[in-house]
Amino acid sequence: MKVVYKAIWDLPVEELFASGHRACAGCGPAIAMRWITKTAGPNTIVVNATGCMEVTTTQYPETAWMVPYIHVAFENSAAAAAGIDSAIRTMTKKGLWKSGKTNVIVIAGDGGTYDIGLQSLSGMLERGHHVLYILYDNEAYMNTGIQRSGGTPRFAWTTTTPVGKAIRGKIQAKKDIMGIVMAHRVPYAATASISNIIDMANKIKTALEYTEEGPTFLHILAPCPPGWRFPEERTVEAARLAVETGYFPLYEYDHGKVRLNPPTSAIVADPKRRKPLREFLKFQGRFAHLTDAEIEELEKEVVANLNYLAKLASL
Amino acid sequence: MTAVATQIQKAKTVLALTSNYAVAYAVKAADVDVVAVYPITPQTTIVEKIAEFVDDGELNADLIHVESEHSAMSAVVGAAAAGARVFTATSSQGLELMHEVLHIASGLRLPVVMAVPARALSAPISIHGDYSDLMNTRDTGWITYIASSAQEVYDTVIQAYRVAESVLLPVMVSYDGFLMSHTTEPVELNDEEEVKRFLPRRERPNVLRPEKPITMGAFAMPDWYYEIKYQVQEALQGSLKTIEEVDEEYGRTFGRRYGVVQTYKMEDADYAIVAYGGASFGNAREAAEIAREKGIKAGVIRLRVFRPFPTSYIVKYLSGVKAFAVVDRAIAFGGPGGGPVFTDVATALWMNGIDVPGISVIHGIGQRSMYVEDFVKIYEMLRDGEKNKVVYMGLRL
Ligand SMILES: Cc1ncc(C[n+]2csc(CCOP(=O)(O)OP(=O)(O)O)c2C)c(N)n1
Ligand code: SF4
């Protein structure tokens, strides 16, 4: 990771994501949007998939976006971005693009990435477009009212995986989207959390720089108060606990090399520094039903994942 | 005078081309920037030929080898939103897969141009020609041409860019799958420099540019959605005028023009067949000759522009006949009129208070052979007073 920002003071002052949008109070994705646009700067085109970030920010005739923005549909943001990239490249050659170097950034939710948009994401990555794809992960289809997605964790309550007598929340584990992206051998992919702003901003900068070579990817954890069922003032805390409990490790994939970032690297080096998973789970309504045995099961998965990542990082 | 004429004569290039290759040559002449490529029969040879042009350096365009037609349409929508001149082509299942994004292209008012050699739909799977795929797109807000010769295909693709960029709507250029996409005809090519003058690059006001940020594809509540969709309807209805003007100017520049409907022997016709596409028009014309030998005053009307529907022309030509038939190469399943275009024609007449008896003929489904005699029979049916029914012609029962 290229360290451009050392402290919050180093970040640009200019806001490119306007306040007054219609996202819920305490919306994790909205926090992400603010830092993404700020870091990327005005020479950026945003391609947004359908989802909370689109419907809450573009209610005609108003918009929260101070950079050029397009929403096409739910499953095709990567394909639309590929078209924009292709247009900029050819038009530059023909002297028809006069804006100079322009970032093309996709912003899509977990549903639009893990599920319905996976095909177009894969195609875009395979073809090597100069696009930064940012997944903001709130771990469910929130815009349609909290349904499970491929990014929803095991045992989580959603409206389509209700907690009943026979089945207790989502049955399957969360899909390893980073693994899928890394398998495309892109120049750069990284995880980030809205609780670790400086780390996230530096990763955005790094990813944008690497898009000269090819597609880059960021997986940002962005908690959703109504979807996860916690009070809206605890969003950043939820994201921080996700990182500190090892539930959402911070790491990068840089030209084939996996590197763990703080605080995940510290947790892996000294497992005693990892907070118990219960701290992350228990204040969220979506996990309120979990038994100790189930928490233990999830904790085992967290540890196994950290071990797996530590191995990858040692390669 | 003669010297000048010979000079023009000499400058002309005539090649033997399939309609698919005619599309590719027109796309090259239009100097497009971005082409989304995805194979499906009978479309594939278009994008293969374009790929050759790009690889030989004859066309300076970027090919996006997308992973599906849904992405093909999405990619050209993105590229057009950034201000590029774009092209893609598809048929059948590919067109169906694009359906969602077809509405978005027109809703965003993007001048996308697409070729559609028309093909039957699954199931059962059929790679052969009919117009089932195209007819399913009729309410998507696209301007839709249906050409009837390779020459017309070439000319129409060039006209399509001019129209699309003038009225800010996407345009489809369709024609018979296989019967035209894979058969060779002589095609006169234009001088490419002259085509460039005919298709000047103009900066569109609403494109994605960092200097002037705009939000495209916003979310509209009930207080705005209707007005925005109405604007598409208005632009589409109004585009007929532009389509005709562009056709006229094209005629003045390159010597060929087609109008929005083409007629054959309609001046004194008592009985008319309304048709679209190459094979139907060809057969209907031949049948009209034969019918006239039998004493039936037969004429043909071909729809060249299907959307916007050329209502005034249909009304004008059909209000004077004793009876008409529409030959549809698609089925409007479960509908009241059998075929989709028949339903349109009947509506056009009814809306204008004209009561002419008509027959809805379905033919050529899945490329079932259409014979000239079949079309003669249609004229005989009209003469014999048959009316207001659906005829499934060529069907084995
Ligand atoms: C083809 C299609 N299917 C379904 C929908 C309905 N839909 C709109 S947004 C959405 C959920 C988006 O979820 P996600 O990508 O996780 O983003 P979030 O809303 O959580 O921000 C769904 C299912 C759609 N717009 N298009
Ligand atoms: S539902 Fe969740 S993701 Fe959607 S706007 Fe509200 S807080 Fe944000």
Helix axes B225-254, B150-167, angle to 10 degrees: 130
pLDDT in tens, B88-107: 999 999 999 999 999 999 99
Query: B1 falls in which pLDDT band (50, 70, 90)?
Result: very low
Asked whether the beta carbons of A218 and A196 are under 8 A apart, the reply is: no
Residues 40-79 of A with CB under 8 A from B: 42-45, 47, 54-55, 58-61, 63, 65-73, 75-76, 78-79
Which residues from B are below 8 Å from A208, CB to CB?
Answer: none
Whose CA is closest to atom 25 on ligand 1? A74
- If you ran DSSP here, which 8-state letter would residue B322 be given? S
Average pLDDT over residues B123-138: 98
Do residues B177 and B128 touch, judged by C-beta distance below 8 A?
yes
Residue to mutate among A33, A89, A90, with most B CBs inside 10 A, is: A90
Q: How far is CA B393 from the centre of its chain?
A: 24
Q: Is residue B65 predicted with pLDDT exceeding 70?
A: yes
pLDDT in tens, A251-282: 999 999 999 999 999 999 999 999 999 999 99
Strands A257-260, A251-254: pairing kind: antiparallel
Stretch A12-20: mean pLDDT, rounded? Answer: 96
Mutate to test the interface with A, among B98, B207, B211, B219 (most CBs of A within 10 A): B219
| CB contact A34 to B (< 8 Å) | no
Strand partners, B114: B88, B172
Could you tell me if the CB of A226 is within 6 A of ligand 2? yes
Q: Which of residues 346-385 of B touch A (CB under 8 A)?
A: none
Q: ipTM of this model?
A: 0.97
Cβ of A223 below 6 Å from ligand 2: no
For residue B38, give every residue at least 6 positions away whose Cβ sits within 8 Å of its Cβ, in sequence order, or none. B47, B65, B66, B67, B68, B69, B71, B72, B88, B90, B94
- Any idea of the CA torsion for A58, A64, A69, A74, to the nearest 10 degrees? -40
Amino acid at A173: A
Min Cα distance B158 → chain A (Å) is: 20
A95 vs B: CB within 8 A: no
Task: State if residue A53 touches ligand 1 by the CB under 6 angstroms criterion.
Answer: yes
From CA B23, how far away is CA B1, in angstroms rounded? 33
Buried-exposed string A235-274: b where 16+ CB fall within 10 A, e elsewhere: bbbbbbbbbbbbbbbbbbbbeeebebbebbbebbeeeeeb
CA distances from B213 to A88, A191, B209 (A): 16, 29, 6
Between CA A128 and CA B65 the distance in angstroms is 11
Q: Does A120 touch chain B (CB under 8 A)?
A: yes
- The predicted-structure confidence for B180-238, as pLDDT tens digits, reads as follows 999 999 999 999 999 999 999 999 989 999 999 999 999 999 999 999 999 999 999 99
- Phi, psi dihedrals of residue A243, rounded to the nearest 5°: -75, -45
Q: Between A and B, how many residue pairs show a Cβ–Cβ distance under 8 A? A: 167
* Strand pairing report for A257-260 and B62-64: unpaired
Q: pLDDT tens digits, residue range A43-77?
A: 999 999 999 999 999 999 999 999 999 999 999 99
A126: closest CA of chain B, how far (Å): 10
pLDDT tens digits, residue range A184-207?
Answer: 999 999 999 999 999 999 999 999
Q: What is the pLDDT of residue A28?
A: 98
Q: Which amino acid is at B170?
A: P
Q: What is the DSSP letter of A258?
A: E
Q: Does B208 touch chain A (CB under 8 A)?
A: yes
Percent of chain A at pLDDT > 90 equals: 99
CA A259 and chain centroid, separation: 18
A235 lines ligand 2 (CB under 6 A): no
- Cβ of A120 and B71 within 8 Å? yes
| B210:A119 CB<8 A | no
The C-alpha atoms of residue B254 and residue B256 are separated, in whole angstroms, by 6
Tell me the per-residue pLDDT of B309-366, one tens digit each, with 9 for 90 and over.
999 999 999 999 999 999 999 999 999 999 999 999 999 999 999 999 999 999 999 9
Ligand 1 contacts CB of residue A225 (under 6 A): no
What average pLDDT does this structure show over A112-132?
Answer: 98
Contact A279, A225 (CB under 8 A): no
Determine which helix (DSSP H) or strand (DSSP E) holds A314, and give its type and residue range.
helix A292-314
Q: Residue A61: is the preceding peptide bond cis (ω within 30°)?
A: yes
Query: ∠B391-B394-B397 over CA atoms, to 5°?
Result: 85
Residues 12-31 of chain A with CB under 8 A from chain B are none
B13-45: per-residue pLDDT in tens? 999 999 999 999 999 999 999 999 999 999 999
Contact by Cβ (8 Å): B324, B299: no
On whether the CB atoms of residues B119 and B92 are closer than 8 A, the answer is yes
Helix (H, G, I), strand (E, B) or coil at B392: strand
* Residue of B32, B54, B59, B71 to mutate, testing the A interface (most A Cβ within 10 Å of its Cβ): B71
Where helices occur in chain B by DSSP H, the ranges are 2-11, 19-29, 44-55, 69-81, 92-107, 132-135, 150-167, 192-198, 225-254, 278-293, 311-318, 340-351, 372-383
